[in-house]
Structures are given as C-alpha cells and as structure tokens.
Amino acid sequence: MKIIFIGTGYVGLVSGAAMAKLGHEVLCVDNDQAKIHDLNKAVIHIYEPDLTELVRQKLTQEQLIFKNSLAENLSFSQVVFIAVGTPEALDGSADLSYIYQVIDEIISSAQEQKLIVIKSTVPPGTCKKLQQYLFDAGTNHIILTNPEFLREGSALHDFLHPTRIIVGIENQDCHKIIDEIYHPLTKQNYPLIKTNLTTAELIKYASNSFLATKISFINEMANLCEATGGDISALSYGIGLDPRIGKEFLKAGPGYGGSCFPKDTSALAHIAREYQQPLTIIESVVKSNYNRKYIMLEKIKKSLGGDVKEKVIGILGLAFKAGTNDVRDSQALEIIELLLDEGALIKAYDPISIKEAQKLLKDEVQFCTDSYKTASNADCLVIVTEWPEFSKLNYKKIYDLMMHPIIIDLRNILNPLEIRNHGFKYDSIGRQ
C-alpha cells in the first residue's frame, strides 16, 4: 500500500522506514530542505541502530521517497500519517501548532478524501477537535490516531515487534485500510487494539506517565535507602520479581529525561487540570523528577566537602540515556548547568552526543574526546549516562589521572567494592 508520512523526526522517520520494510511504498515529507537533501542520500542525523542501512536499502528499491512539498505530493496516497512534533508550551500544555499547519495544508491542497492518521502524541480530545475542524472546513477527510510506543535506541525493533498496536478509529469505513497496513504485523500475532479516538490518545499518555511514575517511585525509594541503610538494587529486584509490579523501569538514577516523559507527564497533568480532574499522582511525579537534579547536585557537593566552586568536575555521559545521541531534556545537561552556576569547572565526554550537547551548553564546558581526558586532573568524576563503556574503563589508570579520586555514579553501573578497592571515594544512588 502507498502511505505518506509527514515529519521526519524520530517517530516519522523510523515509522516511515519501518512501514517500507513491511512492504509498503512510503513517501516521507518534511519542510526542512537540508534534512530531505541528506535523507535522500541516506544521511541520518539521529543515532538509531540499523536505521541508516534500512533507509539506504529502501531508497535503492524505491520503496522510500523523501520530498519537501506536501502540496505537490499529496496525491501519492489516500493515507496520510502525521508525525510532527508536539513540543511543550510554556504553560506545560502540548503545542499543537505544527499539527494544525499540516491539517490546513491538507485542507487547501487535497483533491480527494484523505485518511489522516495522527501518530504524534496529542492530548485527549485533540483528534475529535481535528475531525470537527475538518468538517467545519467543508471537507470529508477522516481522522484516526495511532500512537507510537517506540523507544529511542531500539526504535526499529520496537516498531517491528510491538507490544501492541493501538488505533483510535471512529469511522467504520477505515477498518479495512488499517487492517491492511498492519497485516504484516498482525499476521505474526502482534495485537492490534481498536478503540475510540480519545481512548487511544489517553493510552499513549497513560503509558508514558505510568512508566515515569515507576521511575520517580524508585528514585524516591533510593533516597529512603540512603537515609535508612537500604540497598536500592536489591530493593528493585525484590519488588520487581512480583509480576504485578514487573522488573522493568525500576532503575534508580538522576531522573527521567528525553523528549517524551517530561513533556508528556506535564501535558497530561495540564489537560487534567483543565478538565478539573487533577492527576495528583502525575503532578507529584513531575515535581519529584524536577527536584531530582537538585538532589544530584547536593550529592556531588557533599562528596566534594560541600562546595564545588572552582572544582574540576568530569562528566561522563551527556545523552538522556545510553544508546542515543539525543540530549533533549537530558539530566546531564541540567546538572551541568547547576554546577556551572555554582562555579564548578566542567569537562565532559559522551561517546556520540557531544555535537548535540555543544549546541545547548554554555561555551565554558570543556568537551573531551574520551573518558581518560575527562578524568585527567579532575577533582571528581560523575557518571550520568549508563553507557556500557563507562563500566569497562581502566579505573586504575583513572585513579592515577585524577587530582582527587572521587567518583559519583548516578546510574549504579560500577561495583562499589571493586571501585573502592582501587582507592576511590565512591558514591552512587540508593546504595551504602
């Protein structure tokens, strides 16, 4: 089947390429000319395993096409997926202006009825409003929604092996097309769940908010472990074995970051307030995660005797998690900003996201080309992202290189006993 994808960000590009892998013919549209130019040469600026190879292969097989103009290419297919950004507005709500821009363009350019599938994360009620907007404009285009659950770093795998496919659908005539699009996955028994538009929108927000809640819960339990003498790793394992709790997303750390959880929890809390149905749990999660960076700052200060002024601090990891070069809403960047405000001197290294971090951080950060250069002459080394290479470093060498052998491991990736045996003063999260 022919499909149009609008927006070649994380979700749009991965989903478009994955749909081509499922056998569809996909046209991806983005108004960023430089990006389309690069994509046509299979040059991809996000780090995602296997994506470049897939894009290159599908370009060669002419199953994937990249274009700039939506108006000129709208006749390619009746099915149009919208995967543009819905960033956080100043008041915490989701900014839907990019979605409306695309809808307006479809209204003015489409010559035939379109099935418009919203893949972007949009607050509950948005698709109903979009449907009304299309009717009010005198068109018969139909809105569906199909939220995405892929994770950065395993995005293609997640798309092709989904835990579930959720479709919001209120028009009886659209079932056949959706079934056909996802047949390559449903025939492998991946579940496709159809529900109404608002429920599908809510499933996306509820999923991300529930996962964020698990993380904040375990982070606060880690605080309690530190205060009482408990061990968060054993605690996570101990509770996670209960299948009603589940062991995933129980790793304590510097707080959740990235382009999804912070924005989606805020947006859900915001919309619930608008409906006078406050989500007190999610409000607390947002607050708890906001406070997390200050708790990390205090931890670093304490290890350095209470003050970081003019102390050289080496930061290992800038991405919001391992396996991605994405630094959006990264705890690492927020902690660096706080340390700079307190007068610390920052050296930083990340295996793949330095270029992205440089665009967002102040000039005074000294970026290094490896972990050892970051450790050299540092008063303290802070591990913020759980890149596997950080647990395999030669810590004897690191000990010799540092001015003061202090390591703060915000991801619990090192063995406390081993690292202390090297002579380090070591602190981590929720462990003694």
| Residue 269, C-beta contacts closer than 8 angstroms, at least 6 positions apart | 92, 278, 279, 282, 283, 286
Least separation, in Å, of the C-beta of 138 and ligand UGA?
34
Q: Judged by CB, which is closer to ligand UGA: 208, or 371?
A: 208
Contacts of the segment 236-239: beta carbons below 8 A, 24+ positions apart: none
Asked if 157 interacts with ligand UGA (CB under 6 A), we say no
The CA-CA-CA angle for residues 210, 328, 301, to 5°, reads 90
Least separation, in Å, of the C-beta of 303 and ligand UGA?
21
Q: Judged by CB, which is closer to ligand UGA: 208, or 266?
A: 208
Least separation, in Å, of the C-beta of 191 and ligand UGA?
16
Q: Which two tokens stand for residue 26?
A: 């996909």
| Cβ atoms of 378 and 313 closer than 8 Å | yes
The CA-CA-CA angle for residues 99, 105, 107, to 5°, reads 105
Identify whether 260 is a catalytic site residue: yes
Asked if 251 interacts with ligand UGA (CB under 6 A), we say yes
Cα–Cα nearest to 300, from 318, 314, 321 = 314
Rounded Cα distance, 175 and 150, in Å: 23
Which one among 6, 106, 169, 215 touches ligand UGA, defined by CB under 6 A?
215
Asked if 148 interacts with ligand UGA (CB under 6 A), we say yes
User: Which of positions 64-103 make contact with ligand UGA (CB under 6 A)?
Assistant: none
Q: Judged by CB, which is closer to ligand UGA: 258, or 351?
A: 258
Neighbouring C-alpha atoms within 13 Å toward the C-beta of 381: 32
Q: Which of 28, 127, 174, 260 is catalytic?
A: 260
Q: Judged by CB, which is closer to ligand UGA: 114, or 251?
A: 251
Rounded Cα distance, 96 and 384, in Å: 32
Asked if 320 interacts with ligand UGA (CB under 6 A), we say yes
Asked if 166 interacts with ligand UGA (CB under 6 A), we say no
Which one among 133, 149, 190, 399 touches ligand UGA, defined by CB under 6 A?
149
Least separation, in Å, of the C-beta of 188 and ligand UGA?
20
User: Which of positions 295-314 make contact with ligand UGA (CB under 6 A)?
Assistant: none
- CA distances for 259 relative to 189, 235, 248, 321, angstroms: 30, 28, 20, 11
Asked if 190 interacts with ligand UGA (CB under 6 A), we say no
Count of residues engaged in binding ligand UGA, rule: CB under 6 A: 20
Contact string (CB under 6 A) for ligand UGA, positions 255-294, x = contact: -xxx-xx---------------------------------
Q: Judged by CB, which is closer to ligand UGA: 320, or 395?
A: 320
Rounded Cα distance, 215 and 221, in Å: 10
Which one among 51, 65, 103, 150 touches ligand UGA, defined by CB under 6 A?
150
Q: Judged by CB, which is closer to ligand UGA: 124, or 257?
A: 257
Least separation, in Å, of the C-beta of 239 and ligand UGA?
13
Asked if 384 interacts with ligand UGA (CB under 6 A), we say no
Asked if 152 interacts with ligand UGA (CB under 6 A), we say yes
Asked if 162 interacts with ligand UGA (CB under 6 A), we say no
Q: In what order do the strands lie in the sheet with 165-168?
A: 64-67, 25-29, 2-6, 79-82, 115-118, 142-145, 165-168, 192-195
Q: Judged by CB, which is closer to ligand UGA: 265, or 374?
A: 265
Cα–Cα nearest to 164, from 199, 214, 114, 129 = 199
Q: Which two tokens stand for residue 233?
A: 């790793």
Rounded Cα distance, 71 and 111, in Å: 10
Q: Which residues pair with 316 in a beta bridge?
A: 349, 383
Rounded Cα distance, 102 and 64, in Å: 21
Least separation, in Å, of the C-beta of 400 and ligand UGA?
31
| Residue 423, C-beta contacts closer than 8 angstroms, at least 6 positions apart | 399, 405
**What residue ranges bind ligand UGA (CB under 6 A)?**
121, 148-152, 208, 211, 215, 249-251, 253, 256-258, 260-261, 320-321
List active site positions: 260
